Chains A and B, each alone.
Chain A
Amino acid sequence: MGMIPARFDYRQAGSVAEALQLLVSCDDAKLLAGGHSLVPLMKMRLVSPATLIDISGIAELQGVADTGSVLRVGALTRHRVVERSQVVAQHVPLLAHVAGLVGDPQVRNRGTIGGSLVHGDPAADLPSVALATGATMIVTGPAGERRITAADFFVDFLETAVGPDEILTAIEFPKRTGAGFGYEKFVRRSMDYAIVGVAVQAGEQPGIALVNMGSVPRRAEAASQALASGAAVDAVAALAADGTNPPEDLNANADYRRHLASVLTKRALLAAGYR
Chain B
Amino acid sequence: MSLIGAKVLRKEDPNLITGQGLYVDDLQPAGCAFMATVRSTQPHARIVAVDTSAARSIDGVLAAWTATDIANLPARPSSLPGMDMPLITGDVARFVGDIVAVVVAADRSTAADAAEAVIVDYEPLPAVASLGQALATDAPMIHPVLQGNTVFFQDYTEDLSAEFAAAPRTASLSLVNNRCAPVPIEPNVVLADWGPAGLTVWAAFQAPHHLRNTIAAFFGISQDTTRVIAPDVGGGFGAKINFASEIFLAAALSRALSRPVKYTQTRSECMVAMFHGRAQEHKVDVAFDDSGKILALKVQVTQDQGAYPDATGMGLPVLTTAMSAGCYKIPKVAVSWRNVVTNTTPVAAYRGAGRPEASYMIERVIDLVADETGVDPIEVRKTNFIPADGFPYQTHSPLAVYDSGNFAGALDELLRHVDYPALKAEQAARMADPTEKLLGIGFSSWLEIAGFGPPGSLEAFGHLASWESAQVRVQPDGSAIIYTGASPHGQGTVTTFAQIAADQLGIDFDRISVRHGDTAVIPQGIGTMGSRAVAVGGEGVKTASTRVFERAKKIAAHLLEATEDDIVVENEEFHVRGTPSKSVPWSQVAWKSFQPLELPAGMEPGSLDATVFQQVPNFSFPSGAYCCVVEIDRETGEVEIRNMYLVDDCGTVINPMLVEGQVHGGVAQGIAQALYEHMQYDESGVPRTATLMDYLVPAAPDLPGYVSGRTVTLNPSNTLGAKGVGESGSVGAPPAVINAVVDALSHLGVKHIDMPATPQKIWSILRGSK
Which chain B residues lie closer than 8 Å to A260 at the CB level?
Answer: 636
Q: Once bound together, how far apart are the Cα atoms of A158 and B689, in whole Å? A: 22
Contacting chain A: which of B265-273, B363-371, B394-402, B649-657? B265-273
B694 at the interface (CB under 8 A from A): yes
Q: Shortest beta-carbon distance, B109 to chain A, in Å?
A: 6
In chain B between 614 and 637, which residues have their CB closer than 8 angstroms to a CB of chain A? Answer: 635-636
Stretch at the interface among B213-221, B445-453, B696-704: B696-704
Q: Select the stretch in A76-84, A108-116, A140-148, A187-195 that faces chain B.
A: A187-195
Q: Which residue from chain A places its CB closest to the CB of B115 in the assembled complex?
A: A1
Q: Mark B113-127, 1 if CB is under 8 A from A, else 0.
A: 101100000000000
B112 cross-chain contacts in A, Cβ below 8 A: 3-4
Distance A230 CA – B39 CA, assembled complex (angstroms): 58
Distance of A249 Cα from B693 Cα, bound (Å): 12
The answer to whether B37 has its CB under 8 Å from any CB of chain A is yes
Decide if B11 is an interface residue (CB 8 Å cutoff): no
Say whether A186 contacts B268, CB under 8 Å.
no
A256 and B268 in contact (CB under 8 A), knowing A250-B689, A263-B636? no
A113 CA to B206 CA, complexed, in Å: 45
Quick check: A189 and B694 within 8 Å, CB to CB? no
Closest beta carbon of chain A to B189's beta carbon, Å: 13
**B760 close to chain A: CB less than 8 A:** yes
Given A2-B266, A2-B269, A263-B636, do A250 and B680 touch, yes or no (CB 8 Å)?
yes
Chain B residue nearest to A48 (CB atoms) is B116
What is the total number of residues of chain A having a CB less than 8 Å from a CB of chain B? 24
Q: Does A177 contact B (CB under 8 A)?
A: no
CB proximity of A152 to chain B, nearest CB, Å: 30
Task: Please tell me if A231 contacts chain B, counting CB pairs below 8 Å.
Answer: no
* Residues of A44-93 contacting chain B, CB below 8 A: 44-45
B268 x A44 contact (CB < 8 A): yes
Report how far A192 CA is from B269 CA in the complex, Å.
22
- The complex places the Cα of A45 from the Cα of B116 at a distance, in Å, of 10
The CA-CA distance from A188 to B113 in the complex, in Å, is 35
Residues in A neighbouring B693, C-beta threshold 8 A? 193
Pairwise interchain contact B635-A263, C-beta atoms closer than 8 A: yes
The answer for the CA separation of A44 and B266 in the assembled complex, in Å, is 11
**Contact A188-B636, Cβ < 8 Å, known A4-B266, A250-B688, A259-B763:** no
Q: Which residue of B lies closest to A263 (CB)?
A: B635
Q: Of A1, A6, A45, A249, which is within 8 A of B37 by CB? A: A1
- Output the least CB separation between B269 and chain A (Å): 5
Q: By the criterion of a CB under 8 Å from any partner CB, how many residues of chain B are at the interface?
A: 34
Q: Is the contact region of chain A dominated by helix, strand, or loop, or is it mixed?
A: loop
Please give the distance in Å from B701's CB to the nearest CB on chain A. 4
Most buried by A among B676, B688, B759: B759
Check if A252 is an interface residue, CB within 8 A of chain B: yes
A7 and B109 in contact (CB under 8 A), knowing A1-B266, A189-B676, A251-B758? yes
Say how far A127's CB is from chain B's closest CB, in angstroms.
19
Asked if A253 is at the interface (CB within 8 A of a chain B CB), the reply is yes
Q: How many Å from the CB of B602 to the closest CB on chain A?
A: 62
Interchain nearest-CB distance for B630 vs A (Å): 15
Q: Is B283 an interface residue (CB 8 A)?
A: no
> Contacts A1-B269, A256-B760, A263-B636 known; A189 to B689 CB distance under 8 Å?
no
Query: How many A-B contacts are there with CB distance less than 8 Å?
Result: 61
The residue from A3, A186, A189, A253 contacting B266, defined by CB atoms under 8 A apart: A3
On whether the beta carbons of A253 and B37 are closer than 8 Å, the reply is: no
Task: Tell me which residues across on chain B come within 8 A of A252, comparing CB atoms.
Answer: 760
The answer on a CB contact under 8 Å between A4 and B680 is no
Q: Are the C-beta atoms of A4 and B760 separated by less than 8 Å?
A: no
B108 at the binding interface (Cβ < 8 Å): yes
Q: Which residues of B contact A4 (CB under 8 A)?
A: 108-109, 112, 266
Instruction: Say yes or no: A188 contacts B758, CB within 8 Å.
Output: yes
Report the separation of the CA atoms of residues A235 and B589 in the bound assembly, to the nearest whole angstrom: 87
Q: CA–CA, A181 to B108, complex, Å? A: 49
Contacts of A44 in B (CB 8 A): 268
Which of A3, A190, A192, A251 contacts B268 (CB under 8 A)? A3
Q: Please indicate which of the listed interface residues A2, A7, A190 has the most CB atoms of chain B within 10 Å of its own CB.
A: A2
Interface positions of A from 161 to 178, Cβ below 8 Å from B: none
Least CB distance from B682 to A in Å reads: 10
Q: What is the CA–CA distance of A87 and B702 in the complex, to the nearest angstrom?
A: 32
A217-255 interface (Cβ within 8 A of B)? 249-253
Bound together, the chains give a CA A126 to CA B157 distance in angstroms of: 61
Complex CA–CA separation, A45 to B115 (angstroms): 12
Q: Which residues of A contact B697 (CB under 8 A)?
A: 189
Which single residue of chain B is at the shortest CB-CB distance from A253? Answer: B760
Cβ contact within 8 Å between B760 and A189: no
What is the CB-to-nearest-CB distance from A44 to chain B, in angstroms, rounded to a whole number?
7
Interchain residue pairs with CB less than 8 A apart (21): A1-B39, A1-B115, A1-B268, A2-B267, A2-B268, A3-B266, A3-B267, A4-B108, A7-B109, A44-B268, A188-B676, A188-B696, A188-B758, A189-B696, A191-B701, A249-B694, A250-B680, A250-B689, A251-B758, A256-B764, A263-B636
Chain B residues with CB under 8 Å of chain A are 37, 39, 108-109, 112-113, 115-116, 266-269, 635-636, 638, 676, 680, 688-689, 691, 693-694, 696-699, 701-702, 758-760, 763-764, 767
Given contacts A190-B699, A193-B693, 5 further A-B contacts (CB under 8 A): A1-B266, A186-B636, A249-B694, A250-B689, A256-B760
